[in-house]
């Protein structure tokens, strides 16, 4: 009974995922996070608390950092989503922010890392020259249980500096 209900209940949606159009069917109750991970195989979006507390599920929704566990996939109909899989310039390459995270040891277990990096991308697209205070504020919604945050802040500052040096601030937007 419940199975039939679910099947009938499915809705067809179209999303722009990391630059390519995807048409999928989801139940209304599927969060954007579960849709990314389970339906689309983009497991770089991490499921931490699944109720809006940890920030591990952060993705870019039309360019803005949001918690993908706090919206249903059907609500994203027609929108552009960028996950960590979509920030690299090409296969085997890293975005300047990812590079900086490697260099400053901005990650340990890596669980918080995709969300931290996407949050940093959103910050730098908006503000190419953030103060330390602004960086701390930007990542304040993302919990990291390993690094103590110092190297993450350092990584974002380093990425900002490099992106400014490259004089191509638009690169900050994946």
Partner 1 sequence: MKAAPFEYSRPADIDEACALLAADESARVVAGGQTLVAMMAMRLARPTRLIDINRIAALSYIRTEGDDVKIGATARQCVAERDALIAKSAPLLARAIPNIGHAATRARGTVGGSLANADPAAELVLCAITLDAVIEYRADGESGEIPAREFYIGPMITTLPAGAVLSGVRFPIWRGKVGVGFHEVNARRSDFAFVSAAAQVELGDDGKAKRIAIGVGAATDFPLRLDSAEAQLSGTALDEKTVRDALRAALADVETLEDLHASADYRRRVAVDLAARALADARNAAQGKPHAH
Nearer to ligand FES, 28 or 110 (CB): 110
The number of residues in the chain equals 174
The answer to whether 26 contacts ligand FES (rule: CB under 6 A) is no
Which of 106, 90, 91 is closest to 139 using CA atoms? 106
Locus of tokens 């027609």: 78
The distance of closest approach from Cβ of residue 33 to partner 1 in the complex, given in angstroms and rounded to an integer, is 10
Q: Which residues contact 67 (CB under 8 A, 6 or more apart)?
A: 52, 55, 57, 58, 141
The distance of closest approach from Cβ of residue 91 to partner 1 in the complex, given in angstroms and rounded to an integer, is 29
Are the beta carbons of 153 and 139 closer than 8 angstroms? yes
Q: How far apart are CA 65 and CA 151, in angstroms?
A: 21
The answer to whether 161 contacts ligand FES (rule: CB under 6 A) is no
Among 13, 17, 112, 139, binds ligand FES (CB under 6 A): 112
Q: Which of residues 46-75 bind ligand FES (CB under 6 A)?
A: 47-50, 52-57, 67, 69
Which of 13, 117, 123 is closest to 58 using CA atoms? 117
Name which of partner 1, ligand FES, none residue 163 binds, using a CB cut-off of 5 to 8 Å depending on partner kind. none
**What does the binding site for partner 1 look like in residue numbers (CB under 8 A)?**
2, 5-6, 9, 11, 27-29, 31, 34, 49-52, 55, 58, 61, 64-67, 69-72, 74-75, 77, 119, 137-138, 140-141
Q: What are the φ/ψ torsions at residue 14 (nearest 5 degrees)?
A: -120, 130
């Amino acid at each position: 009974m419940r199975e039939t209900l679910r099947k009938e209940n499915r809705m067809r949606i179209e999303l722009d995922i990391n630059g390519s159009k995807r048409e999928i069917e989801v139940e209304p109750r599927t969060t954007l996070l579960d849709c990314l991970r389970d339906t689309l195989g983009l497991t770089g979006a991490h499921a931490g608390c699944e109720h809006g507390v940890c920030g591990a599920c952060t993705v870019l929704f039309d360019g803005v950092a949001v918690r993908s566990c706090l919206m249903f996939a059907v609500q994203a109909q027609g929108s552009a989503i960028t996950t960590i899989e979509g920030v690299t310039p090409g296969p085997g390459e890293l975005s300047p922010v990812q590079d900086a995270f490697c260099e400053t040891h901005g990650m340990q277990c890596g669980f918080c890392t995709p969300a931290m990096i996407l949050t940093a991308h959103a910050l730098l697209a908006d503000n190419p020259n953030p103060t330390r205070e602004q960086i701390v504020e930007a990542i304040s919604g993302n919990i990291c249980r390993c690094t103590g945050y110092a190297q993450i802040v350092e990584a974002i500052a380093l990425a900002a500096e490099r992106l400014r040096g490259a004089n191509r601030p638009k690169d900050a937007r994946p």
